Structure 1
Amino acid sequence: MDELIAALCFQIPAPADESESVDGWRVLIPAPDANGMIRGDDGRAWKMSDPDAVVATYTGPRPIDVNHAEDLQAAAGNPAPASGWIEEIRANNGAIEGRLAFNARGAASVRDREYRYLSPAFRFHPETKEIKRIDSASLVNTPNFALALNRRGAPDANDNPEANAMDLLAELRTALNLKDDATEADALAAVKTQGTELETARNRPTDTPPLDKFVPRGDYDALEQAKNRAETQLAERDQADHKAKVDAAITAAKAAGKITPATEDYHRANCRTAEGLEAFQTYVAAAPEIGADTGLDGKTPGSGAGEALTDEEKAACRAIGVDEATFAERRDADAKAYG
């Protein structure tokens, strides 16, 4: 039966100062308790009856990665660079210790407290829970990260590996936007596809981006200029149309005697906007005639003596507060005097 993988977490002590090395021996698997069990924070437990047998499986340096990239990323074909190495392991008072040697990046991460915990990953027998060998170790910030590895096939607290496998598959379906009936093979294919697309994007020349996601700058500028020209032409056309409407309304109002030439500029200024034109048309519709035909065209001065006042003359009487009869008498007198 295939061995399963699990992990424990231990806090990495901070160096006293920058000169102190972060390398050295660290506990990877603690000594069993009085009941012969090694218990994790998540409630799971394993056995390690023979630490020396576990040490004997060590065949060379084992990687120290970040967030178990060796198991979660490398398996999908993605990069999983090491931050250091487990250079050797030993049994010590029932526990297994590893001599850690960090590279510059890993040492900086530990020294700067970017990562506070070390999480060794190990193989164990699914039925007896006997620990068989140490695979790697990871820098992590979540002490219970072992639960994520547990979903890759390690039995949970209820010894139900199938439930854990289904949990992982459900999470993969959601993360990869797959259908509810997608299989593990579908999920793995989707992960590989994303890795290929990412690598392709990284290797694509920066001066030839895909046309389905980017527009060449020259084309964009041309479109922007065409848009600006269209907007300018539309605004000019709208202005010309509005001016024609104002001209027609002013001309009609003068012809109807609703406004006088003296007030044309005033009304035209009020018609600068569509709302102003609408207000002017409403005013003209309700205004009385103040410039009606006087009937004097073709007549000589004095020819109107004795005639009734015209509408314009009556309006003048109202404007200056003169009685219409008095106005008529004066008008007739002027006609006789200057006729």
Structure 2
Amino acid sequence: MHDYLTLKSREMEVGGAPEIISVLPLGHVKSAKGEFDVDGESFAAMKAQIAQRGVDLVVDYEHQTLTGEQAPAAGWVKELFLDDGQIKARVEWTDRAKAYLENREYRYLSPVITVRKADSKAMGLHSIALTNTPAIEHMEAIVNSLNFEEGGHNTMNEFMKKLAALLGLGEDATEEQVAEALKACVEENKSLKESAAEAGKQQQPPEDDKVVANKEVCELLGLKAGAATADVAAAIMALKGGNIGGVNLVEQVESLKAKLADRDAEEAVEMALKAGKITPAQRDWAKGYALKNLDDFRGFVEKAPQVVPMGSVGGSEPLALKADEVDEATLLVCKQLGISAEDVKKYGMKGE
């Protein structure tokens, strides 16, 4: 979880209050917090970070800026530059810090840097501190400040301990263990939320289970009061389709209409026959005409001349030719139809 290392300058006295200080050497650096590299990219990243903040980089006392305690500034970094294989800074000291340095009350500098884990390269400069407690001896470049972490003021370390305790882990839990426990906790919480949401959906009655409160509607459809919406909808659709009680009313109505039409056509044809307006031979034609358009057929019968003498037509019984002779009624009808007497004798006589 540590993204930064707290580092202190070489064990050299700071004579007076120098305007230019050494912050980090270029190259591979070893410290109590691990090894890391410092190069041109490191320098560029640090300068970009300071520019992005838009304020001068602070020089404090004993890393108080990190601990959250009262953190008065000892000075401000006004410029960062490369010189003689090192990253250096031009510092503007406070009067108090100048006095400390001139009185030799503070003798070392300790920069706080951020290290990129992917390649262990220094990529940021958080602050610089005045300190008197170097942790590593014989470091030619920079060393860690002993008080920062071992003295119990590492805010991030304390946070990790509290987080580990909340997750049921011991104080000696590693970063990876804490991360895995936290991930499992998040997944479990997500699963619980999804289960709760699903349970809430199941408690809601489905649309098909909702009831129709209108008692009259239900009774008109032959359903009990409070019937489900699905049942009411089914009854209405059946009604629209002509089905009631399992009987297809549409088919029955169509059948009844056909029977009535056949009856009316038959009656109209019988009346036409009895009125002598058509001959028995025309029955099928007349029936088809009447079924197709009864009103038109009745109009035809009303306007048509009498072609068969009254008393010569027996209604539904077809006329028969008498021996070899063609009777007067038949000849009259044939005349109306454009049939000659010779054709009647030739094709209509019995036995032909």
Give TM-score scaled by structure 2 length.
0.37
Q: Point out which structure has higher relative CO (alpha carbons under 8 A, 6+ apart).
A: 1
- Normalising by structure 1, report the TM-score: 0.38
Q: Which of the two has higher C-alpha Rg?
A: 2
